[in-house]
Amino acid sequence: MSDLFYDAAPNATRIAPPRPQPRKYPDKKPTHVYLFGTCVIDIMFPDAGFDAIRLLEREGITVHYPQEQGCCGQPAYSSGYIEQAKEVAKAQIALFENDWPVVIPSGSCAGMMRLHYKELFHDEPEVLAKVNALSERIYELGEFLLYVSKIQLKDQGQKTKIALHTSCAARREMNTHLHVRQLLDQLENVERIDHDHESECCGFGGTFSVKMADISGAMVLDKTKALKDTGVDQVVSADCGCLMNINGSLEKQNESLRGQHLATFLWLRTGGTHHE
Amino acid sequence: MSKTEQPRIPVLDALSQHFKENAHMALRNKQLRHNMRTAMDSLITKRLVSMPDENERESLRELGNHVRARALSKLPELLEKLEANLTKRGVQVHWAETTEEANQIIFDIAKRRQAKLFIKGKSMVSEELNMNHFLKKQGIEALESDMGEYIIQLDYERPSHIIMPAIHKNAKQVGHLFENKLQTPYTDDVDTLIQTGRKVLRNKFFEADIGISGVNFAVAETGSLFLVENEGNGRMSTTVPPVHIAITGIEKVVENLRDTVPLVSLLTRSALGQAITTYVNLISGPRKANELDGPEEVHLVLLDNGRTQAFADAQLRQTLNCIRCGACMNHCPVYTRIGGQAYGTVYPGPIGKIISPHLMGLDKTEDLPIASTLCGACGEVCPVKIPIPELLRRLRKEDVRPPEEPLHYVKGQGARFSRKERTMWNIWKSMNTKPNLYRKFSYLATRLRFMTPNILAWSQNHSKAKPASYTLHELAKKHLGDKK
């Protein structure tokens, strides 16, 4: 290999490290955090967001939920409507004034705010400065619980087998598939079973599932088959877009298997109960 | 073919841009689905096994990206240098702005040599030219000598993969094809099938008037054409016939010979999991007076066909980094399910979705940029780090940009522009920038959940998506109060 490291790029010294440096996490657990709940959770899976709040509170953290929040802007960004995405992103950026971490119970929305906002505002230096600062404070829920809050989970549930599905954005942008695995592995009565083609997309892709319904359908059928083949009691995911897709398909197939959001799963396993 | 034939994309449709219809047909072809899954899984594994050390793999990719980016940063200069050095060595260099021009150049050479039979090594650019079809109309036969390409030529198909053009077929299908077309006894033994094909092709190398090949890397510093292959047919096609014509896109130039080392290592590992191919050819000119082997004439056709359009934009330029390994296809969940022919373009899969709009215009490829979940698997494996998802998003933007807007980065801008859709996104924008409006909407969406409209495309594969009966905004407000 060493022979290959010649002056490949103009004026290059050595090749940059292959992967971004592992993220540096704060030493001290913060006392306040913001929760960015995401629009899918807000409307489709509110309990997941609420369970995230209670998990954070149990860690002794004060949670702030800006009522002005909406969508992160990802749907427009992915569909090519960049101006619309920018406006929506700007509205969210303005909500997190204090220097507290912003915890997001979704890998793909966290990826959007942490990584893609930079691309969105690359030619607006003033916003970009804000975005860069905000980016450092963005955490996916699982990542936050594991590395910032250093949560110790005490499993109070029955023995169970689960399969984990991670969204592609979580996997390839945030590395949260690893964090979530580590969190789940703290639960002693939970056996995690790997499924076939685990790293493969479930076929959601936002508007893709509607615009290319045929192909998306083939993908989600393969994904649900792989999940069913594990014989697990439950599917867990930290991304509600995927859950909408997977659960919707499972229900259509009259299967009893369902996916649950990580926050809900962790909350219920560790003695939490659901509200009225 | 066997009697129980699966739905198949018609031959002529393989270049028809009917992406959705083709995909629909491909999805119903169980044999294709099975073949693709098995083949892609094997290629994914082989790639990983050939580059087991993650750090080394990532360093090599980084290097590959640097080499390509550097070459592209000096593209005009390197092309001139390439031409000068090739000419010095006796290679005749031709420039073609369009596919028609390229075909004409090739035909002119053929006319001068009174050629009747071409023998071809693999060349995707010749597919771009639709060269076989063009030559046929002029009474010239162009016979494929790459085994995969020969198989699909026999079956009147087009390549479905850049590296493995017949990857969608299995041995049984090829056995039946040979049985019908070559009148050989049926077998699905791969070695026997390859021997059969080879026997047919063997003499053609000697009969052919002109040999055609592609180019993997055109080395500016030395004026060499770098060509990798596994079957030896590439070497035969380029050395046995009296004339060799190489065809390549202008982006394939690299600065010096040393640059080819990491690139070829990445190419073969990413494509097939091979450390190196069986044959590595470096062609540096025609046969000299005192030499026994090699063609009397060597030509290089340099094709633009939309590449300068991609080159002109710093972001889109990254498209031209591609070294045609096909790894993005091998890892793409969409490609795996529909195969390459469904794309209706020469270059299928993720890379095709970003190259084809430049070659053909967005108006002819409007569905390609949206035929992705943006899962990122393609970008993750690309040996030269083309940010394919990022470029797909960019093309989506050009796809919906109003056609009358002055900035035209890609031919056919605004192919998917729809006033209605734009209005919808503007409403979405208002909702998410005006918190009161958003809260009213989400309140109504949850309270009137029974009235959620049924999206037909969604309900084909899913139960109806119903909002919850309350929002997180409400739960949070009740629980946390009004604290900011």
Q: Are A176 and A262 within one domain?
A: yes
Q: Are A139 and A220 within one domain?
A: no
Q: Are B130 and B271 within one domain?
A: yes
Q: For chain A, how big is the Rg over CA atoms in Å? A: 20
- Which candidate from B62, B377, B474 shows the least CB-CB separation from A18? B62
How far is residue A185's CA from residue B340's CA, in Å, rounded to a whole number?
40
Q: Are B382 and B434 within one domain?
A: no
How far is residue B46's CA from residue A50's CA, in Å, rounded to a whole number?
44
The two three-digit tokens of residue A117, written as one number: 């906002």
Residue A64 near residue A33, CB atoms below 8 Å? yes
Residue B208 near residue B117, CB atoms below 8 Å? yes
Q: Do B472 and A71 touch (CB under 8 A)?
A: no
How far is residue B123's CA from residue A249's CA, in Å, rounded to a whole number?
42
Single pTM value for the model: 0.94
Q: Which residues pair with A235 in a beta bridge?
A: A163, A259
CATH number at residue A222: 3.40.50.1860
B237-268 per-position pLDDT tens digit: 999 999 999 999 999 999 999 999 999 999 99
Q: Are A170 and A144 within one domain?
A: no
Give the mean model confidence (pLDDT) for residues B228-234. 96
- Domain count of the fold of chain A: 2
Q: B7: which chain A residues are within 8 Å (Cβ-Cβ)? A: none
Place B222 in a pLDDT band, splitting at 50, 70 and 90: very high
What does DSSP say about strands A102-104 and A32-35: parallel, antiparallel, or unpaired?
A: parallel
The two three-digit tokens of residue B464, written as one number: 């109806």
Place A11 in a pLDDT band, splitting at 50, 70 and 90: very low
Residue of A nearest to B261 (CA): A4
Nearest C-alpha of chain A: how many angstroms from B41? Answer: 9
Distance of CA A13 to the CA centre of its chain: 36
What percentage of chain A carries pLDDT values higher than 70? Answer: 92
A36-83 per-position pLDDT tens digit: 999 999 999 999 999 999 999 999 999 999 999 999 999 999 999 999
Q: Which residues form the domain of B95?
A: 69-309
Q: B66: which chain A residues are within 8 Å (Cβ-Cβ)? A: 8-9, 12, 15
Statement: residue A17 has pLDDT above 70? no
Hey, is the C-beta of B371 within 8 angstroms of any chain A C-beta? yes
- Domain count of the fold of chain B: 3
∠ Cα B277 B279 B280 (to 5°): 90
Q: Do A76 and B461 touch (CB under 8 A)?
A: no
How far is residue A74's CA from residue A109's CA, in Å, rounded to a whole number?
7
Closest CA to A214 of B363, B396, B161, B334: B334
Residue A53 near residue A91, CB atoms below 8 Å? no
Hey, is the C-beta of A220 within 8 angstroms of any chain B C-beta? yes
Q: Are B11 and B124 within one domain?
A: no
Q: Are B278 and B355 within one domain?
A: no
Q: Which of residues 14-53 of B touch A (CB under 8 A)?
A: 20, 23-24, 27, 33
Whether residue A62 is contained in a domain is answered as: yes
| Maximum separation of any 2 CA atoms in chain A, in Å | 66
Statement: residue B3 has pLDDT above 60? no
Q: B484: which chain A residues are within 8 Å (Cβ-Cβ)? A: 64, 66
CATH number at residue B136: 3.40.50.10420
Q: Do A37 and B473 touch (CB under 8 A)?
A: yes
